[in-house]
Amino acid sequence: MLTSTLLAAATAPLQWSPTVAVIMILANIAAIAFGKLTIKYPNAGPALPSPNFFGGFGLPALLATTAFGHVLGAGVILGLHNVGRI
């Protein structure tokens, strides 16, 4: 009984598409912009090879913003897939 209920609630698997890639890229850009405005010391820690290319971020700030961008992007992608938009 429980197995059939779970199978009925399951959705179709999410296939990669350029739309999914664009959503992830936009989520990372939004996270980097949010980090640029809110991180108190963005250039702390080990420096990156070309600081201007990375927006003046140090390694910890870059890892934090991109990790947040991926979590945000995964949430948006799964949410839109669950609603049926992608």
Q: Can you give the pTM of this predicted structure? A: 0.78
Range of the domain at 36: 24-83
Residues recorded for the chain: 86
Give pLDDT tens digits for 19-66: 999 999 999 999 999 998 998 888 887 887 877 777 788 888 889 999
Q: Are 30 and 66 in contact (CB under 8 A)?
A: no
Q: Is there a domain that residue 34 lies in?
A: yes
Total domain count, the chain: 1
Continuous H helices in 1-86: 2-9, 18-38, 59-83
Q: Is there a domain that residue 15 lies in?
A: no
- Cα distance between residue 13 and residue 69, in whole Å: 22
Q: Write the single-letter amino acid at 55.
A: G
- Cα distance between residue 42 and residue 61, in whole Å: 6
